[in-house]
């Protein structure tokens, strides 16, 4: 009976029904509404913090002492660095709090028409804490969302006989909710030029799919049908990474980085219910008959292997003048291996090519609140969802870092407000639905010296 619920959504007219909902019935709630989130484990969140988002998602080789690059745990080894000050090497070992939220405005549109619908939402992005243990060794822990499922679709239609006589009107409501989260803890260690790291997390989530169908009649009372499949899953999840740097000159460093996860199996349980219902005077559903019910069915979610590799060129690193970071990343996922309780779903292998740059302030200027960071990026690729034709993805980003002035001379705290603006275009005129996503991310990076010793003259 499991395949019954899946087959309903596999029909490619599902996306067309989604558009009918947004245009004609006006039944969508003021929430993040994306029909594509039905497939796979939902719409995938960005794996990057706000700094890296502003750089087009470039993160494989990125590392600094003011943010947590949880996409590559090898970067945790860079929480503590040594700088030359007055002919002495002084340690900058900072505890980091990195947290962010985002505002998403998503527009759905049917190709070659003026029909569209827009939904808006404020979403949690991540919260992480980074702790330097010693030189070239750091620890980080926190939580971030991995995916999101959110859609509510209502389709109405008229039923006719083969001769064209009207029989009655009917409705079909598709809705889905859920998503997944990944709390994790990781460590990175190595030398000045080579680092490795690992994250150990617990990937958990749920996926609830509901299809309601019934007649719209003012003369005869019909019982509507309700097909619900509710899945919960959870299990350990591992990510590894490495970074390698080469000194090209006194003012130029080339950093190489790679991170990813192998194919992993996440166990879960599933409840399936097929029933007929009516509504009482207060609008609540009242079950008429249970056609089929199965609870606590064991299964698994096979999460595919994904990886990111790239390089970053650091110009004037550690200098009191401005530094530049210029990088390129390539990311891919083997989603052909994905299985959800034995079903493959409409997904495929995906890839993305990312370009990004940043003007980076020196630590001294950042502490004094005198210098800003400016970021720009571009990315293009293919989405992991495939309904009919490939779903192309293209976008660009801008970023800004605003240091918060520290008015206490005795404090070593340094805080930065990071802003990221992204435009992501998903689909084109060859797809049933196009999505335009504008995302504004706001992040706070708060740092302070770790076990700093104060000196008084």
| Structural tokens at position 131 | 């702790």
Q: In angstroms, rounded to a whole number, what is the distance separating the alpha carbons of residues 354 and 285? A: 48
- Work out the pLDDT band at 371, boundaries 50, 70, 90: low
Judged against a pLDDT cut of 80, whether residue 168 lies above it is answered with no
Neighbouring residues of 384: CB distance < 8 A, sequence distance ≥ 6: 40, 44, 333, 335, 347, 348, 349, 350
Q: How many structural domains does the chain have?
A: 1
What would the pLDDT profile of 22-74 be if each residue is shown by its tens digit?
Answer: 433 333 334 568 889 999 999 999 989 999 999 999 999 999 888 999 999 99
Residue 118 has a pLDDT of: 87
Is the residue at 291 inside a domain? yes
CATH number for the domain spanning 258: value is 2.40.160
Is the residue at 456 inside a domain? no
| Structural tokens at position 130 | 């980074």
What would the pLDDT profile of 261-299 be if each residue is shown by its tens digit?
Answer: 999 999 999 999 888 877 766 666 766 677 788 889 999
φ, ψ (nearest 5 deg) of residue 361: -75, 160
Residue 333 has a pLDDT of: 97
Is the residue at 454 inside a domain? no
Is the residue at 455 inside a domain? no
| Structural tokens at position 359 | 């003007």
Judged against a pLDDT cut of 80, whether residue 354 lies above it is answered with yes
Is the residue at 457 inside a domain? no
What would the pLDDT profile of 239-263 be if each residue is shown by its tens digit?
Answer: 999 999 999 988 889 999 999 999 9
Judged against a pLDDT cut of 50, whether residue 158 lies above it is answered with yes
pTM of the model: 0.84
Is the residue at 283 inside a domain? yes
What would the pLDDT profile of 96-151 be if each residue is shown by its tens digit?
Answer: 999 999 999 999 988 888 778 888 889 999 999 999 998 899 999 999 999 999 98
Q: What is the mean pLDDT of residues 222-228?
A: 81
Judged against a pLDDT cut of 70, whether residue 361 lies above it is answered with no
| Structural tokens at position 360 | 């980076």
Is the residue at 413 inside a domain? yes
What would the pLDDT profile of 61-74 be if each residue is shown by its tens digit?
Answer: 999 888 999 999 99
Domain encompassing residue 408: 2-449
Q: Please give the mean pLDDT across all residues of the chain.
A: 83
DSSP 62-111: ---SSS--TT-GGGGGGSEEEEEETTEEEEEEEEEEEEEEEEEEEEEE-T
Is the residue at 288 inside a domain? yes
- Work out the pLDDT band at 91, boundaries 50, 70, 90: low
């Amino acid at each position: 009976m499991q395949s019954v619920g899946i087959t309903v959504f596999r029909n490619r007219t599902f996306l067309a029904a989604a558009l009918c909902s947004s245009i004609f019935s006006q039944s969508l709630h003021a929430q993040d509404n994306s029909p594509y989130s039905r497939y796979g484990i939902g719409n995938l969140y960005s794996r990057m913090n706000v700094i890296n988002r502003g750089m087009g998602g470039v993160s494989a080789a990125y590392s600094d002492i003011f943010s947590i690059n949880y996409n590559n745990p090898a970067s945790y080894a860079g929480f503590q660095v040594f700088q030359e000050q007055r002919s002495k090497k002084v340690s900058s070992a900072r505890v980091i709090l990195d947290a962010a939220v985002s505002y998403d405005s998503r527009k759905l549109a049917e190709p070659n028409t003026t029909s569209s619908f827009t939904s808006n939402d404020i979403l949690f992005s991540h919260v992480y804490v980074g702790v330097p243990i010693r030189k070239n060794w750091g620890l980080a822990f926190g939580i971030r969302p991995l995916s999101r499922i959110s859609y509510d679709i209502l389709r109405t239609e008229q039923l006719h006989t083969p001769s064209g006589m009207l029989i009655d009107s009917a409705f079909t409501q598709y809705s889905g909710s859920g998503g997944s989260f990944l709390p994790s803890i990781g460590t990175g260690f190595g030398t000045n030029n080579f680092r490795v790291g690992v994250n150990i997390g617990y990937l958990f989530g749920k996926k609830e799919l509901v299809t309601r169908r019934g007649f719209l009649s003012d003369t005869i009372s019909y019982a509507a049908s309700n097909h619900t499949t509710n899945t919960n899953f959870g299990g350990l999840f591992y990510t590894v990474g490495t970074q390698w740097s080469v000194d090209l000159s006194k003012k130029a460093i080339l950093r190489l980085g790679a991170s990813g996860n192998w194919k992993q199996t996440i166990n879960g349980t599933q409840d399936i219910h097929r029933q007929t219902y009516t509504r009482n005077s207060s609008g609540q559903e009242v079950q008429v008959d249970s056609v089929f019910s199965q609870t606590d069915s064991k299964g698994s979610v096979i999460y595919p292997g994904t990886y990111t590799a790239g390089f970053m060129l650091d110009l004037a690193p550690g200098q009191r003048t401005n530094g530049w970071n210029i990088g390129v990343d390539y990311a891919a996922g083997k989603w052909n291996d994905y299985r959800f309780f034995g079903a493959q779903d409409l997904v495929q292998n995906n890839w993305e090519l990312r370009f990004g740059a940043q003007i980076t302030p020196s630590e001294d200027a950042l502490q004094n609140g005198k210098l800003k960071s400016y970021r720009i990026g571009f990315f293009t690729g293919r989405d992991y969802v495939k309904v009919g034709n490939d779903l192309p993805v293209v976008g660009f980003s801008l970023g800004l870092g605003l240091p918060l002035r520290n008015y206490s001379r005795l404090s070593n705290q340094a805080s930065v407000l990071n802003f990221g603006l992204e435009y992501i275009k998903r689909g084109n005129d060859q797809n049933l639905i196009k999505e335009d996503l504008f995302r504004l991310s706001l992040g706070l990076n708060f740092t302070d010296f770790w076990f700093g010793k104060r000196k008084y003259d």
